[in-house]
Structure 1
Amino acid sequence: MKTAPAPRPPLRSWQFRRVIAAEFVSSVGTQMTTLALPWFVLMTTGSPARMGLVFVIQILPVPLLGMPAGLLVARWGARRVTIIGDIADTVLVAAVPTLYLAGLLPFWALLVIVALIGCVASAYLSAQRMLLAEAIGSDEGAVTAGNALFETATSSARFVGPAAAGLLMAKVGALHVLWIDAATFALSAALLTGLPRRERKPEPLSANRMTEGARYLFRDPVLRTMALAALGYGTLMPVVLLALPIMARARYDAAPEIAGLLLAAWGGGTAIGTVIVARLARRVTPTRFAAYGGAGAALVLWLLPWDQPAATTALTVAAACMFLPAVTAPAVALLTLRPPEHLRPHVLPVFGAAVFIASPVAYAAAGVLFEHLPLGAVLAGVAVGATLCALILLDLARRDPDRATPPETDCPPPDMIST
């Protein structure tokens, strides 16, 4: 008997390289917009409240429209939705400086544009992951490695985008930086246009698909456990992120350079972790990988509540963030590949919507906690929560779920539905 050839590493696929390049370029544009647009609002209106409203309006459509957006991805395909999303973002971002210079941009019109950008993001996020899976194939190790490299691109963009936007804003102003942001989305669309089209029968837009995707996620014990743990870390880590500037003020004499060091450690640790996951993804099953990563992150987070020099605090933050991609990349890989193909566009958006809801709630709750409780007590609570998530993942890995049969679906695939 001939053994099946081992799947190629993701970076050897020209399709994957184009997807990663497009993701990096569009993420740089997104990060530049995240800094330039609020700064533009603050400088033109002088109102921090209006600036905050822009943030809320932009993120609100993502959890609200995440599941319906999955229907759109299933109907049109990930490639088409991503390209259309890039083109739409190009037009919407460029509309801000165009209308402002023409004297046709009242604040309500800006909010409409920002809301439309959020609507595009609701479909764009799930389409990106599906496009990634299409470019790699169905091997779990390859998809886990690909997702880790995907996160490497986004983590690197978090360094490049804000830094580039800050330098450019100082030279040309936030308004003109938005032109550059629009150009990055146009470049991303051009990179994806060369990908081969995937022939598929269009799936009818049905609420049954969306409901069945959510039900499948909750019925499958593997996906349910992985999603719960990943959501737990996604809720806890924003508390740590918000704690970093507070820690710099309380423990290190309000030194801004220490705050910058801690934030840089966050991004650097995440970037290193994604590279490590990409290298080891083929050697470890997704559930075991997530268990190891969750346990490592929980152990390191127990060091944060204690007073220590700034250098060791930075190393602790970097180490905790380095372990987290070992949880998120396998979780996304399983959420992408384990469901039947006709339900895949409807499962991942359910998880994405939950994360986008949990993150702002976590930031709001953390602000209240830090107002009323000592810093160390809040961080100890985070360590307790992370430990519980790690125990859940370790129990899942112990039960060897990688051989478990996925549950049956109540909704038949599209080609079995009579028209």
Structure 2
Amino acid sequence: MTTDAAPTTRRRLPLVALLTAQLVSLAGNAVTVIAVPLYVLHITGSAVATGVAGVFATVPIIVGGALGGVIVDRFGFRVSSIVADVVSGLTVLAIPVLAATVGLPFWALLLLVFVSGLFDTPGDSARASLVPDLARLGAVPITRAAGAQSAIERSARLLGAAVAGGLVVLVGPLGALFIDAGTFALSALIVTLFVPRPGRAGAATRPGGSTAGGEAGATSGTGAGARGSGAGASGGAGIRHPESYRAGLVAGFRFLWSNRLIRAVVLLVTLTNAIDVAGMTVLKPVYATTVLGDPAALGAMIACFAGGALVGSVVFAGIGHRLAGRGLFVACFAVAGVLPYASMALMIPFLALLAVMIVSGFAAGAINPMISTVMYGTIPEAMRARVFGATSAGVAATMPLGALVAGLAVEAFGLQATLVGAAVLYGCLTLTPLFDRSFHGLAAARLDTAGAGT
């Protein structure tokens, strides 16, 4: 027991370091999302200009996700993660530096915001693509690693939003962006120092001579272990990519569309994301203002949901490898999506609504880890980043439409009718995994990936 403890700790250090880097980088993104609009509003006094800046911040998520994955696969996950953080940090740093020295025209601000956002999704895809290999290296079940990753993402957004609010009050938006640039540098440094280069992971071996990456998993024939061998813990860089960029891009989208399970999951999330964004940007703010009579109630609703989601992610990380499957997937979607809109439509008491938000958030916290587990178990390592990127672009594509339709529906039919419609539509979408045979692979993907960390 004692002799095995130190090697196990060393093997798990790269995974812990990667998740730490993800926490720091995503917290930096959260600071950017808050500080930049406040700066634009401060210098222009225009809500329209602030909205334009918001467009330049969100469009790169789709573009970078769709086009950057092939580059990440080609240059390697570790290198791509580092480069993405460095570029994001430099572009964020340029905003306060230029504003304080030679001046920063609005068009230049938009360009910097666009470039920074353009590298965010490839960087996230690169770090997500490293998780399966580092989980195998540390003998961690992939469901547990995916749950930890989701908990880190939610923690980063909560932490980043809180820190951003405090920084803006203390040092202003430009000062907040100075500190924000430092978070990207720290994330890049952590990956550089603690995530092994391609080929070095094999040096960390288990007693008896087998590699920590799991030769047994590489010959088992299924799951992430069968697809993940050959590139080491850093992944990607050791794999040859003879195809052109265009061919690689097409191959990624073709794989996404041809795999029935992943295609079904992405289509479901794409449609439910439209409703989620409608709720976040239109329905919940209008409900807090007109029904509850207190705009500050929106913050309490969001905080309760986010807190529940964080706890749900942590719980799934501990026990999800025993429970994940189609039934839990449907149940979590129903509780996370249908329950909040139905409760608001019924106009239940505010404290009861907050309790609903906590429960709904708890269910939502398990959804992303389940989806990540499915993707880790089915996507070949050589295509991992491009498929992750294409998925991010796809699920984000309907977000602006959801907000627009919700606004029009509230104006035309009223808030309560729109809430009922959102709950019913969400419920219908949630039931599709019970009737669509494409979702039958959920349990199989869990079982395949469970063996990768054992």
Where does residue 74 of structure 2 map in the other structure?
A: 75
2:278 alignment partner in structure 1: 239
CA spacing shift, 1:143–1:68, aligned 2, 3 Å: same
The one-character-per-residue Cα deviations of 1:69-111 (angstroms, maximum 9, x if unpaired) are: 1110110111111111111111111111111111231111111
Does residue 182 in structure 1 map to residue 181 in structure 2?
A: yes
Partner residue in 1 for 2:307: 268
1:309 aligns with 2:308: no
CA offset at residue 288 of structure 1? 4.1
Change (3 A) 1:396 1:289: farther
Aligned partners of 1:81 and 1:123 also within 8 Å: yes
The whole-number CA distance in structure 2 between the counterparts of 1:198 and 1:290 is 35
Structure 1's 210 and 339: CA in aligned 2 closer, same or farther, altered over 3 A? same
- The whole-number CA distance in structure 1 between the counterparts of 2:375 and 2:417 is 34
Choose which of 412, 421, 431 in structure 2 pairs with 1:381. 421
Residue equivalent to 1:323? 363
Evaluate the alpha carbon distance shift between residue 319 and residue 139 of structure 1 in structure 2; reply closer, same or farther with a 3 A threshold.
farther
Quote the offset at 1:361 in angstroms. Answer: 2.0
Q: Distance in 2 between matches of 1:351 and 1:398?
A: 17
Letter in 2 for 1:224: R
Task: Tell me the distance in 1 between the aligned counterparts of 2:141 and 2:159.
Answer: 27
Q: Does structure 2 conserve the Cα–Cα contact (< 8 Å) formed by 1:22 and 1:187?
A: yes
Counterpart contact for 2:39–2:173, Cα < 8 Å: yes
Q: Secondary structure at the match of 1:281?
A: helix
Q: CA deviation at 1:65?
A: 3.4
What is aligned with 2:125? 126
How far apart are 1:396 and its partner, in Å?
Answer: 5.1
> Counterparts of 1:68 and 1:399 in 2: how far apart (Å)?
27
Whether contact under 8 Å (2:267, 2:395) holds in the other structure is no
Matches within 5 A, 1:13-412: 13-137=12-136, 142-194=141-193, 195-199=195-199, 200-204=238-242, 205-242=244-281, 243-252=283-292, 254-298=293-337, 300-301=339-340, 302-395=342-435, 400-401=440-441
The range that moved more, 193-202 or 138-147, is 138-147
Counting aligned pairs with the same residue, the percent is 26
CA contact (8 A) 1:145 1:278 kept: yes
| 8 Å CA contact retained: 2:11, 2:138 | no
1:303 alignment partner, SS class: helix
Q: 1:294 Cα shift?
A: 2.1
Note the residue ranges of structure 1 that are not aligned, 5 or more in a row.
Answer: 1-7, 406-419
| 1:345 to partner: Cα distance | 2.5
| Partners of 2:346 and 2:9 in 1: CA distance | 41
Alignment TM-score, normalising by the size of structure 2: 0.81
Task: Give the AA of the match of 2:392.
Answer: G
Cα deviations by residue, 1:316-352 (Å, 9 ceiling, x for unpaired): 2222222123332222222233023323223222221
Q: Secondary structure at the match of 1:304?
A: helix
The answer to whether the 8 Å contact 1:141/1:285 transfers is: no
> 2: distance between equivalents of 1:403 and 1:100?
53
Alpha-carbon distance in 2 for matches of 1:404, 1:258: 42
Q: Which position in structure 2 is the counterpart of 1:408?
A: none
Structure 1 match to 2:219? none
Change (3 A) 1:9 1:286: farther
Kindly report the root-mean-square deviation, in angstroms, between the aligned alpha carbons of the 2 structures.
Answer: 2.7
Q: Indicate the larger mover: 296-305 or 369-378.
A: 296-305
CA contact (8 A) 2:155 2:310 kept: yes
Q: Distance in 1 between matches of 2:11 and 2:291?
A: 47
CA distance in structure 2 between the aligned counterparts of 1:15 and 1:304, rounded to whole angstroms: 44
| CA pair 400-161 structure 1, distance change in 2 beyond 3 A | closer
Structure 2: stretches of 5+ with no match in the other structure: 1-6, 200-237, 446-454
Structure 1 residues 192 and 247, CA gap change in structure 2 (3 angstroms): same
Q: Output the amino acid matched with 1:277.
A: F
Q: What SS does the corresponding residue of 2:397 show, helix, strand or coil? A: helix
Distance 2:353 2:74 in 1: 48
Between the aligned partners of 1:123 and 1:374, the Cα distance in structure 2 is 40
CA distance in 1, matches of 2:177, 2:77: 26
CA contact (8 A) 1:73 1:81 kept: yes
- In 2 relative to 1, CA 18–325 (structure 1 residues): closer, same or farther, beyond 3 Å? same
Counterpart of 1:336, as a letter, is: Y
Distance between the aligned counterparts of 1:299 and 1:56, measured in 2? 29
The equivalent of 1:3 in structure 2 is none
